Structure 1
């Protein structure tokens, strides 16, 4: 019985083992199925290999990326199915799955890797490899990789854009809708002085001047509405406080849903352009002002020509008219006296007109000179009062004088100061109506002497007062004006006063309210006793006419024919023997033979000027090198005089020169007086 039961037990055990094995097989198949479904459903490519590096499986994603079917790839070397190179160098790179088998560790994601597919297509991938172990036994490795072509393309685009932004000469800045800076390129750093670390995360207000902060509110408001702001010219401020003129373009930045999340700003430095525009505007304004001045000068010239024509013709008419009447002998004694008085009066007016024109010419050319010496201003005033006395009496105008008892002596030219006072007094009489009043007050103020000439006349309009001392300027320049004149006297007076180190000013409360002219002159330092009465001055012409230059041989050097002839006649009339030369070269050739007692030479001559001529004379190897010499020239500046003396001349006489002056200079140089 026992023997018959044993087979039954064995049979039952075998059945149990068979059942368990079948159950385990089903579970393994089910797990494998789940594994295959999982591999098929994941988005990454998966390749498994055995310990020999032979492919055992490709999931569908791996098949699509490599171009290999699972059936074709099985048993193939991994390097053949999965061929990878470096994206930048194109060099082969180590396969991470093979590295995992070799080292028994997981290899992380590789960067910049290209997969070369079966058809040669290149795909940017990220890949990693890990060993497959069971109970410590290495069975193979798994390779996981994914297609990152789109990501790499975006990265490259971003890198390209970043390179463009960073290399742009314009400052490119991005910010949020709250005005917080989110990016800051290199040009922004160069323009504003802040590094990206200093700027990013800060408010854009940091570069906006306080007075322009409202602009940011306006810009953000327009951005929220989706507007683009182009070429908005404004001012920003750098880290150092430097203000920068910029042209600003602001564009809204949107997210993937189209929502506006910030702004991109492009700022171009236009400081140089703005400065150039300002300079251009300044030049245009200057040119416009110059043109207006030129037009005004042209009008003034036309008015001056018309005025001078009138002022010259009017006295000429009286002179010619009365001269013809006198020639006809049709006038009685009284009429003849009136005629002669009229001719003399108008001739003097003509002389004064010519004198004023010459003085203005000297003022313009800088040739108006003063002969400085101690002058009692009271003497000049008395002479001026005497000149206007008859005119004041004719209009029944009273002239009161308030004198300063002491210290009325100044350093100056008596004739020129008398000319100034005469001009002020004659104007006061001219512009004051009949039975009016003129006053003169002389007072000492500190170290200055003030002379005030006031009248009760027609006054000066307020708008004309600043121009009263300008040349050829009168308050009334129309043909209907009541008072004659060229408008030169006050201009000449101002220049003369300034040459004396003084000032002159005009005051008037307006038309019909009179005028006051004030002159200030430095007082000469004197001892308290009164100044001696001046001795009568003998005219220089009288002295010069008595001087004779008999026996004196003069060498005259001048390149102008008419000047040589005139000077030769002037000097010959005083008994001198004159040898004339037209150039320095000609004079040097004749000097030893001529043996002059004095040389009179021009300075401005062609080829060899007067300076060079005199240096050659002083370098002669004869007695003529020490002959006295006078420079006679139109170069009348102080530096011209010093240059002439340095060249070897003993005297410097500016042109134009009168015969009496030249004779006196020669006689003085040769000690004949």
Structure 2
């Protein structure tokens, strides 16, 4: 229906004469009443259609002046909402034909301002003419707010009835007033079976009476949110439910009862128990597998340790053979060559120069053999331990590679375990080899220092350095270095040196009895 164009604000209506049926001494009182109430009082002649009287409230609801309505009676019906016009005509037809004694219908009207309002229109027949209704009258009451409230109530009722949750209301005595379809689905009791009873019939056997606690809390105006408990189904099954309980207050704010929303969480609880069981099973299997892996790792470590021990033992044996056998033979040959050279020199023989070269060559071979023997059996407690071995390593590396290699130590570190000392020695040895062969270093420092309760062995060079994390390009040498550090419960770190080159550091724990001591000259020795 098209909206009518807005008109100017209606002028105050002139005082109209009341219909002839109101002729007693109370006419003025009656006029004041009908002109000030919010309802529309109307009187109308049926044939021809004409309104003999309409109260001023009409102008407020319809937005049409009374003078216009007198001239155009059809404006009343034309303002009725299009969807409701058919029902209004049908109600009038039944009334006029005597099928209903009174006229009563609810419909909507759309005022000229576009607003839609609900009316409850009731009428009676005042007089008849030729057996047909001639004069009729009634009251049209604005029920817009009531209709809105009822519509809201209908929507809420639909929500309550269609929700899967149980929604129950109870009075202050704890007796059930309402019981929705959700409650019937969850607990199995019909509305007829539940209304009027207390909630005790849902309490599982031997369960605490939490309803009494709820009533005391509600009486204090408190709300209970998501309280998890158990209830009993009609068939005896125990259900896990989550309760939300709220107070209900009347129009004056007084406590009138309380509502309870129950949600069936049985499946969720069962799922949680299943998850807990599966987690426990997973943890058990992880523990078993972890124990199995620990055993495998321990066995592998033991095998690797045995391989290293065999390797070190063979190296020591070879070193001893070089020292005791080849070394002794070379020493004897060198002494004989030396005597021969001096004898030839004393006699002025021309072979003295060749004998001197032979003596020199044998001397170098003897020194090289002894160096190899010391390298194969580097750490001997009776020869100064790890410190002396590292110092000797620096000297031999300088001679062997033609570089500057120095050993620095400002702490005395006593290692009772010779295997740990050998591992550290081999780490330093490999680091020097890498610095020279791959980094082209010219200067190398071997440093032994303390770091709190631990010690650190560092090899710093001035070579090319590393271009990416060492773990990305580790060869066999680096992997063996890391393994040796793990064997002594240490950590190996390979980083760029502050200026250039590479710094290889092995941090390892010290035995409890190892304490720093100082030498008499103020420097700490290893």
Higher relative contact order (CA 8 A, sep 6+): 2
Scaled by the length of structure 1, what TM-score is found? 0.37
Scaled by the length of structure 2, what TM-score is found? 0.46
